Chains A and B, each alone.
Chain A
Amino acid sequence: MSSVTDTQQQATPPRTGGARSGGTGERVFRGLTTGSGLVVVAAIALIGLFLVVQAIPSLIANHDNFLTSPEFNTTDANNLRFGIRDLLVVTVLSSLMALVIAMPVGLGIALFLTQYTPERLARPFSYVIGLLAAVPSIVYGLWGILVLAPAIEPGAGFLQTWLGWFFLFAPGNIAPVLTGTIFTAGIVLAIMILPIITATTREVFAQTPRFHIEAAQALGATRWEVIRMAVLPYGRSGFIAASMLGLGRALGETIAILLVIRASTSPSHGSLFDGGYTFASLIASAASEFSQPLPTGAYISAGLVLFVLTFVVNALARVVAGGKVNG
């Protein structure tokens, strides 16, 4: 009897059990690994804390409404006038445009790689999509403004001529220039977030239970009907979560946007052909002038808003995924 209970105790699940009593080594090692985990928690808490601490004095000294002013003027430290309205418009417009393009394409690629491509080809094909993620964002920025922007200028002009009555395609605040707009940036961002959306969605689609697919096939479903009946319902939450991860990435993209979107002196009217700054590109553009505390704090407050935005988007992605993504 006693031997049975002994083995049972020994065989408690290893991830909780092991030599529980433990000596000094066990306690030290356990402490070190737990400490490493805590570093991550502390990092997030400290990022929030320090951004808030540095932003508050400038927010108090601000002479304009932080939420509604389109201006961001920090040249005179005694008369700070800054607001995030235009930053928010440009950031959200470019990111949403990227999502509108990347979501259907990413979904298509994920289906192509999991349902249409034979196993032998799926690997090299996924590798090709992975290459898109390997290109550094500054190279995307370079290519976007020097190669892509001139190439798509006729297309942008066409949209503006025929759909100019719609506010998204109305002449922007850097008109008549049509290169280096939110429109260009949206396309560049779409390419950049495509591998993120594809990789995560593909992983979830590949987990579709075999018997769901076989059940659909047994009912005589075509390949497309199998996808509609088995794959999409199973993977929908994963796809949405993947898109939100892509959105988070697009919201925070810095250097590609800084290189692509031209600066503008007049406020935004919500057109895709506007110039201007996103939260991230504004901060990066002013980085060399961070010397006085109050003006710097103004940019840090913009960074704080960006941090909160990405925090919320990523947290939502995790909730939506419900454990299918990232375990």
Chain B
Amino acid sequence: MSTALDAPDQPAVPEAFRSISTARKVKNHVATVLVSLAFLIAVVPLVWLIVSVLAKGLPAIVSIDWWTHSLSGVSPDEAKGGVYHAIIGTLIQAVIAGIFAVPIGIGAAVYLTEYGRGRLARTTSFMVDILSGVPSIVAALFIFALFISIGGLDQSGFLVGLALVLLMLPVVIRNTEEMLRLVPDELREASYALGIPKWKTILRIVLPTALSGTVTGIMLAFARVMGETAPVLVLVGYARAINFDPFNGNQASLPLLIYTELSTNPSAAGQLRIWGGALTLILIVMVFQLVASLISRFSTISK
């Protein structure tokens, strides 16, 4: 007869699952602990860094002058003046980069997603990866070799902008490409079915659908290039006064201001300015990132 009747308090079928052995349990717990620890290890320097920058930089940036005045006429050991000139320079140089990098980047992304076929497209895609790995100092040296050594131009904020184009392009291209690939093919097909040529479909249907994602990518690209220091060291001189003209003369930027104060000004006022500049730079980058994530909230398509 069936086993159930012989031993009513035992399960009818022998247990299918053996309980997990201690060794396996221990391994599983150790892994959990290690993996959580890894995350904590990353949080420690982040918090430490933010706290130190806030503690040392906050006293500098709370004054109104910090945001509205330059260092023109301020002696190095005087805790006066501000970084208005450097903020202006940083923004102007980033905008110059954007003027070139945004249209070219979107164009290249459209090429890669909509037109690109065969060897040329593969080469382009490969080169975008390579470009995203080119160190900023190499980009700066290239612009230096081309425009200053060979072209005979003087150092200027405009040349910094050109070097930043090289650093901005891969970010814009990759982000735009990703967004264009998310646009459903049905939209394109519907447009073709109405007899609309491909280029108009891309301009009127595909790009507007991907617009918010593309703008997000552009904002992130701006955030990335504004903190770049290597190009400004090679391609432009530091100025303590405001200069709105990127084509002539020296032009300050936040990274250049921090570097210059650090290497030439050991006074307490200089220290304050260094950390204040660092905090200001982080805040500006944050604003761009925040705008980027706000825009992506309104995205019509998403992953």
Contact = CB atoms under 8 A, between A and B. Distances in A.
A136 B138 contact: no
B241 to A, nearest CB: 19
A128 B148 CA distance: 41
Q: Which of A33, A132, A307 has the most C-beta atoms of chain B within 10 angstroms of its own C-beta?
A: A33
A138 interface: yes
Residues of A contacting B: mostly: helix
A262 B190 CA distance: 63
A109 interface: yes
B262 interface: yes
Given A39-B108, A51-B142, A254-B136, A136 B230 contact: no
A224 B48 contact: no
Interface stretch (B1-9, B59-67, B75-83, B126-134): B126-134
B196 A112 contact: no
Contact of A138 (B24, B25, B148, B258): B258
A303 B181 CA distance: 36
A1 interface: no
A255 B281 CA distance: 15
B173 interface: yes
Given A251-B135, A252-B134, A255-B255, A134 B124 contact: no
B137 A50 contact: no
A284 interface: yes
B265 interface: no
A92 to B, nearest CB: 15
A240 interface: no
Contacts of A194: 42
A287 B234 contact: yes
Contacts, number: 297
B208 interface: no
Given A40-B169, A136-B281, A306-B135, A326 B199 contact: no
Interface stretch (B30-38, B91-99, B209-217): B30-38
A132 B111 contact: no
Given A40-B131, A134-B286, A303 B141 contact: yes
B131 A26 contact: no
A163 interface: no
A29 B203 contact: yes
Nearest to A143: B49
A105 B141 contact: no
A198 B35 CA distance: 13
Contacts of A125: 39
B36 A33 contact: no
Contacts of B35: 108-109, 111-112, 115-116
Contacts of B146: 46, 50
Q: Which of A37, A116, A129, A245 has the most C-beta atoms of chain B within 10 angstroms of its own C-beta?
A: A37
12 contacts: A10-B192, A34-B115, A51-B138, A104-B38, A108-B38, A111-B35, A222-B25, A227-B31, A284-B233, A307-B134, A310-B134, A318-B126
Given A116-B35, A134-B289, 4 more contacts: A135-B49, A136-B227, A138-B259, A318-B126
Interface of A: 10-11, 13-20, 22-23, 25-26, 28-30, 32-41, 43-44, 46-47, 50-51, 53-54, 104-109, 111-113, 115-116, 125, 128-129, 131-132, 134-140, 142-143, 147-148, 191, 194, 198, 220, 222-225, 227, 245, 248-249, 251-255, 259, 279-280, 283-284, 287-288, 290, 293, 296, 299-300, 303, 306-307, 310-311, 313-315, 317-318, 326-327
Query: 3 closest pairs, A vs B, by CB?
Result: A252-B135, A108-B38, A136-B227
